[in-house]
Each structure stands twice: as C-alpha cells, then as structure tokens.
Copies of this chain bind each other. A is one copy, B any other.
C-alpha cells in the first residue's frame, strides 16, 4: 500500500556540520500540544482561514506535518482547540484590564469596553482568527465551543453589571446588548479602520453604558 524510498538518512545536504546534534527533540505531550495550538493561532492571524492548513502550521511550529495528526484527531480538531485557547486568551486580557481599573464598579465596566477597542483585542489579525472559527460553525463541535466562549463573555459582563447595581432581572439582556454593540463596533473597526476611530467607538459604547445608569426620564419606554 505504501511506497517507501530508500530512506536517505535525512539532513545529509543541509546541516552537514556533524552528526553530534540531535535531529529533533521529544517534548512533553502537553507542551507539544500547546506549541501546535500557538503555531495555529499565529498562522490564522497571519494568513487567515484559507491559509491555515496542515503544512504551513507544521512549518510554523517547526515540526513535520505528520505530527499534527499524532496529537489531534485532524486539522479541524486542532483549529477547534485553538478556538478555545484564543477565546480564553481574550477573556483573560479583558479580565486583566478590569482588574487594573481598580475597585470602582463603574470604572471597571468602562475598562471592559475600552479594552475591546485597543490592542491586542482590536486587531485585524485577531479578526482573521475569529472569522476562521465562524466559518466552521456549521460543524456542531465548533458551534459548541463558540457557545461556551460567548456564554463566558456574557457571564463576566453580567458580573460587572451586578457590581454596578443593575437589577438581576435586567442583567441578561443588558449584557447581550452591550456585547452586541461592542462586537459590532469591534468588527467594523477591524474590517475598515477608516470609517471611524477607536476613540469614537469607545465614546459610543460609553454613551450606551450611560443610558443604563442615567435613566431619570426613560422609565416610560
């Protein structure tokens, strides 16, 4: 079933210096998996969804193409794992921005939306990564991860809203609205950065937040 050429030693034309150096090194399974995920994220950011195939990822990770199938069930499983990893990374970046804002609830909420329009979150490369994931949400396995990641975002946001004194009954929909506005601004800001600035996006989000707190006259609607 297989044609196997004479084997030819490997590395006999490049790297002719000597044979004392190991040709490759084994890695801790978890570490190797992690480095493959990171390489995938870099390739997705650099080349987008269409460029994230087995061979370029293997080159980026400095391993042979076959190794990917040794650690993951297939390229799709690797991309799914990368989805979760990047999603968590974004969550952590937002959490760090909130933590850096101190203890005032309102300031923490502002920090959350502000961080969404600054690097490393508002970044063309990160958008490319996200689009690659979205283009796979037809597969249930990927759709599941999306739901989990977004549920986490909304949970975090609901917690911030709770700190600010938003009634529990309003938190869910308020979080959905804020997430939608921020995502919509973020998306368009990444897609065509010339149509408005990050500062304008921040201002718009902030103004919307304000309507949830200064509602002295909007109770009739």
Question: Which residue numbers of A lie inside 8 Å of B, CB to CB?
Answer: 48-50, 127-128, 131-132, 134-135, 137-138, 143, 146-147, 150-151, 154, 173, 176-177, 179-185, 187-188, 191-192, 194-196, 200-201, 203-204, 207-208, 210-211, 214-218, 220-221
Contact = CB atoms under 8 A, between A and B. Distances in A.
Nearest to A185: B180
A134 B135 CA distance: 10
23 contacts: A48-B138, A49-B50, A128-B138, A131-B131, A132-B135, A143-B191, A143-B192, A147-B195, A154-B195, A173-B203, A173-B204, A176-B195, A177-B185, A177-B204, A177-B208, A180-B181, A180-B187, A181-B184, A182-B184, A183-B188, A207-B221, A216-B216, A217-B218
Smallest CB-CB A-B distances: 8 pairs: A180-B184, A184-B184, A217-B217, A216-B217, A183-B184, A180-B185, A210-B221, A177-B204
A131 B188 CA distance: 13
A146 B183 CA distance: 17
A180 B217 CA distance: 25
Residue of A138, A177, A204 with most partner-chain B CB within 10 A: A177
A217 B220 contact: no
Contacts of A154: 195
A135 B50 contact: yes
Residue of A134, A151, A179, A216 with most partner-chain B CB within 10 A: A134
